[in-house]
Every structure is written in C-alpha cells, then in structure tokens.
Amino acid sequence: MKLDTLLQPESLAVVGVSLSNPFNPANVIFHKNNLRYDARTYCVNPRGGTLFGDPVYKSISQVPGKIDCAVLSIRADLVPAAIEECIENEVGGAIIISGGFAETGRTDLQDRVTAVAHEHNFPVIGPNCLGIFSPPAIDTFFLPSERLVTPRKGNVALLSQSGGILVDMMIKLTQEGVGISRTVSIGNKAVIDEIDLLFYLDSDPKTSVIGLYLEGFSEGRGRDFVTFMEQASRPVVLLKAGKTPGGSRAVSSHTASIAGDYPVFREVIRQSGALEAENEAEFVSYCESLSCCNEAAVERVCIITASGGHGAMASDGCFNAGIEVAQIPDDDIQELQPQLSKSVQAIASLNNPIDLTGSAGDNDFFTATRFFLEKDYVDAVILLLLPYLPAISTDIGARIASVAMQYQKPVITYMPHVDRYVMFIEGFESNGLAVAHSVEGAVHMVRAMNRRKS
Amino acid sequence: MKKRIHELLERARNVGWMMEPDARELLKLYNLPVTMFHWVHTREEALKAAADIGYPVVTKIVSPKIMHKSDAGGVRVGIGNDGELSQAYDDLSRLEGFDGIIVDQMARGTELIVGAKHDPQFGMVVLTGIGGTAVEIYKDVAIRMAPFSNDTAREALTSLTGSSLLTGYRGGEAVNMEKLVHLMVHFSELAVDLEKNIESIDLNPVMCNAKEALIADARILLKEVQHT
C-alpha cells in the first residue's frame, strides 16, 4: 500500500471534532494542524457549523478538494462506515485514533476495518493510536503543543506500539539533542504494521536510524522482520516489552520450556542484525549514537580521559562489550608527549586509556583526539571530560567536533549531565556529537556502532 | 513415505504425543541417525535384541500412559548381561500401559539437545544446546529459525558457551562436526515440513563422539487442533 499520502499528506480531514468540547482530541488535532503544519486542514462533524471561524463540514464527501489523509476520532462502532466513506470519496488513507477495538474485545469491529481496507488497498494506521508526527506536513497527536517539548529536526524515525512510550521517547531524545524525522504510533495495527512502515522508512531520505518499540509481532510477522533486516540499509534499534511470561504454563518439553517467546525473540533479533536495547536508557543511547554516525563499524577505540578512574571504568566497559581498547605503539607515545602542555607532559599516562589528568586543558584534549583519530588502529575516540576542571572551556565541543568531522570517525563524549554544564554539552550536541550521561552510557553508544558491523 | 508419516501422526494424535518407537521411525524416514534399537514385547525378543545390538544396552518402557519415562522409573541404563536384561524386562512390564520395551544401543559421547518448536512470531525454530538432564540448568542453547544451512548450524554450535566441549576440551574427544551439522540441518527441514502438526520436538540426548552423532531419545508433542 502507498504510504506517502499518510506520512506526507498535502491535505488532512479531522473527522469527529466537537462543537462544544474544546478538549476533544479531534479539536486538538484540528487546531494544531490548522495553525502549525503545512497540510491543508479541514474538520468534519455531521452537525456542521463553524469552529473558531473555520467551516465544519457535515461529511467527508462535502469537503471541497482532495483529502490525502483522514483522521478518525469517532466512536468505534461508527469507524467501519467512515472508512467506507473515505474509500468512496477517494481519500488517500486514514488514521484511526479511536479506541474500543481489539484491545477491548471488539475484534469484530477491527476485523471489519481490516477486511474493507485490504479489499480496496486502502492504508490505515491504528486503531487505538496517536497516529503520525511527520513535520512539516502533519502531527496527529492529540496532545497540545504547549504541553510537549518541541522535537528537533533530525534523522531518527520512531515506530511504537504504545503512544505513551512513543511520546516519552520523543521527549528523551529531544533532551539529548537528538533530532527526529518522523514518528508513527501504530496502535492495534489492524492494516499497516511496523514491517510496512520499516520498509517505508528504510528508503526515507530524511531518516537514517529507525527506533522501534514493540510488544510483539503478529503471527508470523517476525519472519517478515528478519526478511526486512536482510536488505535494510538503515540500522534498527528495538525495545521490547512483554518479555516475562504471563502466568506459568505447564510445559512438558525441554525445548518449549527453554525456548520461551522472549528467548526466541532475543536470539532471532540478534541474528537479524537489529540492535535490541535492554531498557529505555540504552534505547536512547543507541539512537543517539547512530543518529550521529550510522556508517561506522567500530572495533578499536582510544579512550582519552581527564581522570584515571573514568578511564579504568571505560576500559572495563569496553572489555565486557567486546570492544578492543587499542594498543598504542611506543613511537606514537613518544611523538604525542611533546605536543601536550608542559604541565601535562610530566604527569600524563599515555597508554590507552590516555589519562591527560586534571591539569589538562582544551588544547591537550584537542591535540590528543586529533592525534589518535588520524591513526588507522583507532576507529573511534571515547572522550571522558570533566567540565569542573579549571582548564576546560565551553569551546571544547566545537573544537572536538571540527576534528571528528575532518577524520570522519565517531567521537563519543561522557560528561556529567547537570544544568550547570549545559553549555559544555551543547557545544558537542549542536555540532552533531553524542554526549553520554555516564561512562557506561558512552560504552553503550560505541557498542551500537560495534554491532553495526555484523 | 508421506503415507507412513501421516499414519504415524494419526496414531499419535489420539494421545497428543508420539511414542518413542514411532518417533524413531519418523526420524529415520527423514534420514536422521538414531541409536540402534528394537521394540520388543517378550523377554525372549528382548534377549535376542540385545544379542543383536551387543551389551551394554539401555531399556525403556513403551506406554501411551508414560511420557516422562525416567520420572516413572521406566529407563534402565548400563544393562550388561542376559540376567540383568530379564530383570529389567520384568520390572518394566509391571508399569502402567505397558506396550513392550525398547532395547537400545548405549551410545557414548557428549550429550546435546536438538529441539524444535513452533513460535507464534517466527514460526518453526530449532534449538541446539548442551543437553542431557542438565539442559534446563545451564540453558546453554542457540536458537535459529528453521530451515537453515550448514553455515548457520556451524555458527549456532560455535556460539554456545560450552562449544569447547565439542571441539575437544583438555584432551577430550572432539565430536564429528560434519555429522552433527548434517543432523541439525536435516532436522530443521523436518521441523518445517511438519510445522502444521507439531508443537515441539526434543531430541535429547543426541550423543556426539568422534565417529557419529546419534539420537538416543525423541519426544514429539503434537498440536492440539489439527488441520490437514
């Protein structure tokens, strides 16, 4: 099915606006799109009239002009007829925001939607979802803009079976300075599911990383996911919920007992080349690092630190994650030493991890980072920076970013995330470099690029 | 062959699982190597079977009432002579639902489990792991979608934490990888072939040594609702 009309519509009809309740989800969706997004927006209610001066059309057929996308926010039992009306009026596709389908036991209603949509090759997102956030065209989330953080423009696309988790992830990625291309809340996925959207996003020029929150694939669709991954060109980061078995089933075979639903999922996903995050923090880290650099295949790193303890923790993390901490040849140590400031030369330890000590300043970090990015035996640099040290300035991010760009290799930085250091952190993030909240987080980010090679 | 497979499945359907002699026959129809065995219904037949196989042998109860043979006291291992065999036959013949015994070759080697199950999201998957009775303790297994190639089978074995047990750990005997891989690949094809009928299969243990990889026991559970 053609998904362009849903993800990048030129016109939008919001069906189900209320003439009396301004908090009705449909009203929020209508106003938001009417005022802030590019798609030409209409609203529909059988009673007609006007809404803040805009005409309310009595039915889809009365809307003047072609509708690419219809957003249905009406009672579940009215939805199947509304879908038929959309099809009759040659609407491009529909998003069903309404709940009250399979999730509440009304599989009959949902099956009717599925059947009629398939019969007419009509794409439908939902039901029971927030729909699509795809700026600058549309945003069908019924959440008032002033209640949300404004996502940055960027290259991470998100798909989610849960609308709530999706919005949380958008907020968290935004907070990490990660930009978003489009997001889709897929809800009950009666017609279009995550696999269809993965294929779409994998050839979306705005997207270079795809994040997916999933409770489970529908019957047999796991296999289609594996098929998708075989030809996918974008990395896919996945977070799964529902890993624990619901209630104990009496199982009389060893295979069934060991190979429960989640163990099978985990193994097959790992084989497929998708990156499964253990938890939300890891998911955000993976998306952040791959949004900065999704081409690199990192095997060997150089750790540059202002403190021995941080260096040791990062080394341990790399070892556990199967990332090699590169061996530095003696000649290179001899060559680097005189390039550092006098006070640092005497006390720095130049075996990887490179501990420049608390006396080091911007120049020392810049010099060491450039020195190792140039070496073939280093695929990426992990920079452990402590902004409370006196000789480090807020310029450091921009300077490191310039050299990372020059060598086209990733630099992952750790810095403690508190308000006081925001200027340091933004120096990196606004120049396209990932900054982790913890040493462990920095290692996760590198691991995302490490897995990318397989 | 198709007809015979159908018959075996039909017979098992009433019980919900397939008795070991039938399971072994099914595996043999797919060219999977099972230990040498005879299904016998008298003591005399048992003695003749042991003479054919050669001591030591294993005896196992065949009964539609007993799926977990060991738990029911229905397995005797290391039987070394006619006297022990007669005794074992008499003991087993008193168990519920007795329908003869299996006299089985006592294979030696590293014990693996090779199993298959139908996963709702990914279809038939094959599990391979360090097996025998310890399988549920160590859970050292690799799971791959069926069917798969020789390369995938090899990679699955290498991915096991205990893979060095297969390649000869501290002077131990390395197993015959080629035969083991062959067994896994053929089994993955069987799993897909019988997808509609089968809930899960345990080949446990598969005995692996330098010469061969032999299936020493098989448990096949059938799906409850059947079509075709």
- HSE-CB for A207 with a 13 A CA cutoff: 27
Per-residue confidence (pLDDT) for residue B177, from 0 to 100:
96
Number of domains in chain B: 2
- Interface residue of B71, B113, B121 to substitute, partner A, most A CBs within 10 Å: B121
Does residue B228 lie in a domain region? no
**Same structural domain, B131 and B187:** yes
Tokens representing residue A408 in the block: 């086209």
User: What is the percent of chain A with per-residue pLDDT over 90, rounded to a whole number?
Assistant: 89
Q: Do B205 and B128 share a structural domain?
A: yes
pLDDT in tens, A109-165: 999 999 999 999 999 999 999 999 999 999 999 998 888 889 999 999 999 999 999
Task: DSSP for A6-41, please give it.
Answer: HHS-SEEEEET--SS-TTSHHHHHHHHHHHHSSSEE
User: Interface of chain B against chain A, CB under 8 Å?
Assistant: 67-68, 113, 115-117, 119-123, 125, 127, 129, 131, 135-136, 139, 141-145, 199-202, 204, 219, 221
Beta-carbon contacts of residue B223 (< 8 Å; ≥ 6 apart):
B118, B196, B197, B198, B199
The whole-angstrom separation of Cα A51 and Cα A93 is 24
- Contact call for B123 and A265, based on CB within 8 A: no
Dig out the tokens for A163 from the structure: 């609308």
Query: Both B135 and B159 in a single domain?
Result: yes
Name the residue type at position A5. T
Inter-chain contact B200–A271, Cβ cutoff 8 Å?
A: no
At a CB cut-off of 8 Å and minimum separation 6, what does A247 contact? none
Lowest-confidence segment of A153-162, A171-180, A358-367, B129-138 by average pLDDT: B129-138
Q: Which of A188, A183, A372, A400 is nearest to A292 (CA)?
A: A400
Strands of A59-197, DSSP E: 69-72, 93-96, 124-125, 131-134, 138-139, 153-160, 180-185
The DSSP H or E segment spanning A51 is strand A50-51
pTM, two decimals, is 0.91
Q: Inter-chain contact B120–A271, Cβ cutoff 8 Å?
A: no
Chain B residues in contact with A268 (beta carbon < 8 A):
122, 125, 143-145
Q: Which residues contact B71 (CB under 8 A, 6 or more apart)?
A: none
How many Å apart are CA A57 and CA A67, to the nearest integer? 13
Is pLDDT at A374 greater than 70 in this prediction? yes
Q: Is there a domain that residue B75 lies in?
A: yes
Q: Which runs of consecutive H residues, i.e. helices, occur in A37-144?
A: 79-88, 107-119
DSSP string, B162-228: TTHHHH-GGGPPPP-HHHHHHHHHHHHHHHHHTTTTEEEEEEEEEEE-SS-EEE--EEEEEPSS---
Cis peptide before A136 (omega within 30 of 0): yes
Asked whether residue B59 falls in the same domain as residue B46, the answer is yes
Give domain status of residue B173, yes or no.
yes
The tokens for B154 are: 């090899």
Residue A261 and residue B120: Cβ atoms within 8 Å? yes
> Do the domain assignments include residue B84?
yes
Does residue B19 sit in the same domain as residue B63?
no
- Rounded to 5 degrees, what are φ and ψ at B15? -90, -25
Is A112 within 8 Å of A80 (Cβ atoms)? yes
Which are the contacts of A174, defined by CB distance < 8 A and separation ≥ 6? A149, A150, A151, A152, A180
User: A41 - beta bridge partners?
Assistant: A12
What are the residue ranges of helices labelled H in A89-159? 107-119
Four-point Cα dihedral A189, A195, A200, A201, nearest 10:
100
pLDDT, averaged across chain B: 93
Pair A369, A396: CB distance under 8 Å: no
Is B227 a domain residue? no
Nearest CA in chain A to B114: A255
Q: What was the pLDDT predicted at A38?
A: 97
CATH of the domain at B43: 3.30.1490.20
pLDDT score of B3: 92
Closest CA to A30 of A17, A47, A46: A17
* Beta carbons of A139 and A25 less than 8 angstroms apart: no
User: Based on the domain organization, do B134 and B45 belong to the same domain?
Assistant: no
CA distances in angstroms from A332 to A350, A361, A368, listed in the order given: 9, 21, 11
Query: CA-CA distance, A428 to A289, in Å (whole number)?
Result: 12
Q: Which residue of A lies nearest to B142 if distances are taken between CA atoms?
A: A267
Place of tokens 């270079």: A208
Quote the CA–CA distance of B115 and A253 in Å, as a whole number.
9
Same domain, B151 and B58: no
Query: Which of B69, B64, B71, B73 minimizes the C-alpha distance to B97?
Result: B64
Taking the CA atoms of chain B, what radius of gyration do you get in angstroms? 18
Name residue B176's amino acid: N
* Residues of chain B contacting residue A219, judged by C-beta atoms under 8 Å apart: 120-121
Q: Do B18 and B101 fall within a single domain? A: no
Phi, psi for residue A153 in degrees, rounded to 5? -75, 135
The model's pLDDT over A411-435, given as tens digits with 9 standing for 90+, comes to 999 999 899 999 999 999 999 999 9
Residue A410 has pLDDT above 70, yes or no: yes
**Which residue blocks in B14-121 are alpha helix, DSSP H?**
20-29, 43-53, 82-93
A261 and B116 within 8 Å at the Cβ level: the answer is no
Distance from CA of B202 to the nearest CA of A (A): 6
Q: Are residues B19 and B124 in the same domain?
A: yes
Helix axes B177-193, B150-158, angle to 10 degrees: 120
d(CA A54, CA A405): 49
Q: Which of B76, B75, B85, B28 is nearest to B54 (CA)?
A: B85
Q: How far apart are CA A399 and CA A423, in angstroms?
A: 14
In a domain, B160, yes or no: yes
What pLDDT is stored for residue A252 in this prediction? 67
Q: Which of B105, B124, B141 is the last residue of a domain?
A: B105
Q: Report phi then psi at A184, rounded to 5.
A: -135, 130
Do B131 and B218 belong together in one domain? yes
CATH of the domain at B13: 3.30.470.20
Contacts of A278 (CB under 8 A, 6+ apart): none
Nearest to A255 among B122, B127, B144 (CB): B127
Whether residue B127 is found in the same domain as residue B183: yes
Beta strands, E only, A294-334: 300-305, 324-325
Query: Which of A230, A239, A243 minimizes the C-alpha distance to A271?
Result: A230
Is residue A311 within 8 Å of A301, Cβ to Cβ?
A: no
Among B84, B105, B126, identify where a domain stops: B105
| Mean per-residue pLDDT over chain A, rounded | 94
pLDDT at A451: 66
Would you place residue B226 in the very low, low, confident or very high pLDDT band (cuts 50, 70, 90)?
very low
CA distance A348 to A334: 12
Kindly list the residues from chain A whose CB atom is less than 8 angstroms away from the CB atom of residue B113: 254-255
**Confidence at residue A286, expressed as pLDDT on a 0 to 100 scale:** 94
Query: Do strands A40-44 and A11-15 pair parallel, antiparallel, or not at all (unpaired)?
Result: parallel
Please check whether residues B186 and B86 belong to one and the same domain. no
Residue of A nearest to B204 (CA): A254
Residue A154: per-residue pLDDT: 96
Task: Kindly tell me if the per-residue pLDDT of A257 is higher than 90.
Answer: no
End-to-end CA distance of chain B: 16
Residues A373, A378, A381, CA angle at the centre, nearest 5°? Answer: 60
Per DSSP, A338 falls in state: G
* pLDDT of amino acid B78: 94
Interface of A with B (CB under 8 A): 216-223, 226, 252-259, 261, 263-265, 267-268, 271
Cβ atoms of A74 and A45 within 8 Å: the answer is no
Give this complex's ipTM: 0.90
Q: Which chain A residue is nearest to residue B145, measuring alpha carbons?
A: A268
Which pLDDT tens digit goes with each residue over A300-319? 999 999 999 999 999 999 99
| Boundary of a domain, candidates B105, B122, B143 | B105
* B128 to chain A: closest CA residue: A255
Q: Which amino acid is at A57?
A: Y
| Residue A263 C-alpha, separation from nearest chain B C-alpha, in angstroms | 8
- Measured in angstroms, the CA of A194 and the nearest CA of chain B are apart by 13
Mutate to test the interface with A, among B18, B66, B119, B133 (most CBs of A within 10 A): B119
pLDDT band at A248 (very low <50, low <70, confident <90, very high): very low
Domain range for B88? 37-105
Cα distance from A104 to chain B (closest Cα, Å)?
A: 22
Three-class secondary structure of residue A179 per DSSP: coil
Give CA–CA dist B217/B24, Å, rounded. Answer: 8
- Which chain B residues are Cβ-neighbours of A258 within 8 angstroms? 115, 127, 129, 135-136, 139, 141
Look at chain B and count its residues: 228
Q: Is there a contact between A12 and A69 (Cβ–Cβ < 8 Å)?
A: yes
